[in-house]
Amino acid sequence: MMPGSETVRRRIGGVLLLGVCLCLPLSAEAEIFKYRGADDSIHFTDKPMRGDYRLLWRSGKKKSRNSGRSMARMRENRAKVTPLIERVAKQLRLHPGLLHAVVRVESAYNPKAVSKKGAQGLMQLMPATADRYGVSDSYDPQQNLQGGAQYLKDLLKLFEFDIKLALAAYNAGENAVFKYGNRIPPYPETQNYVKKVLNEFERNRLAMLN
C-alpha cells in the first residue's frame, strides 16, 4: 500500500458522500451508510446491509408508524370526553377550553394514562390528590375530571385567579409556588408545562369563538 493511501481514500470517500447528499431532494428522508470492504475499500449505500456498515448521514424526519394512529385515537378520545368536560366546566364555572388544554397536555385524552411518577388518568392525578378529592378510581373519566377540575379551581382561588400560578401549582404543587414567592418555580418542566397549557387554551378559546 502506498504511503498516505488511506488518507486519500478517506478524502475521496468524503467527496463521494458530499456528492450523494447534494443529489438527494432536500425534503426527502434519506440515509447514507458507509461500508469498509475486506480489501479496505470504502463503499456507500442508502440501505444498511450485512457487514461493517455505519450510518453517516440522515436527511428529513422519520415518521413514526404509530403517529397517525395515535392522533386518530386522541381525536376519538377527545370526542368521547368533550360532553363530560363541558358539563364539569359549566358546573365549576371554568372555561371548557382550559380543561381541554390541561387534559391535552397531561394525558392527550387517554383515560388510562400513567406517568413515571404515578399520576393517573385524564388529568394525571397523583394518588394523594385523588384521595383528597374523593376520587376512588382515577381511570374513570367522570371521577378523574371532576376531581382534577375541582383541584384546578381551588388552585385558581388560592392564587387569586392567576392562571399561570395555578397551572404551575397543578404541575409542581402549591408549596413549590409558595417557596418561590408566588412565582412560577424555576423548573424547566413546570415552565414548559405552563406555556404548553396556555398555548392550548388560547387555541381552544379562539376556536370556540369561530
CA–CA gap between residue 51 and residue 66 (Å, rounded): 30
Give residue 162's pLDDT. 98
List the one residue out of 83, 113, 77, 100 whose CA is nearest residue 200.
100
Cell of 42: 470504502
CA–CA gap between residue 30 and residue 42 (Å, rounded): 19
Asked if 101 and 112 count as a contact pair (C-beta separation under 8 A), the reply is no
Residues 6+ apart with CB under 8 A from 50: none
Give residue 130's pLDDT. 97
Q: Which entry of 106, 160, 174, 200 is annotated as an active-site residue?
A: 106
25 band by pLDDT with thresholds 50, 70 and 90: very low
Domain positions in the chain are 5-59, 67-209
33, pLDDT greater than 60: no
10, pLDDT greater than 60: no
Cell of 107: 394525558
Give residue 7's pLDDT. 38
Determine which of 10-19, 45-54, 100-109, 176-185 has the lowest per-residue pLDDT on average.
Answer: 10-19
26, pLDDT greater than 80: no
Q: In CATH, what class is 67-209?
A: mainly alpha
Q: Does residue 106 have an active-site annotation?
A: yes
- pTM value? 0.68
Asked if 81 and 109 count as a contact pair (C-beta separation under 8 A), the reply is yes
What number is the average pLDDT over the span 82-107? 97
The conformation of residue 48, written as its DSSP 8-state character, comes to -
Asked if 43 and 17 count as a contact pair (C-beta separation under 8 A), the reply is no
Give residue 210's pLDDT. 74
Determine which of 39-43, 90-94, 103-107 has the lowest per-residue pLDDT on average.
Answer: 39-43
103, pLDDT greater than 70: yes
Q: Is 145 exposed, middle or buried (0-12, 13-18, 19+ CB in 10 A)?
A: buried
What does the angle CA 156 – CA 158 – CA 161 come to, to the nearest 5 degrees? 35
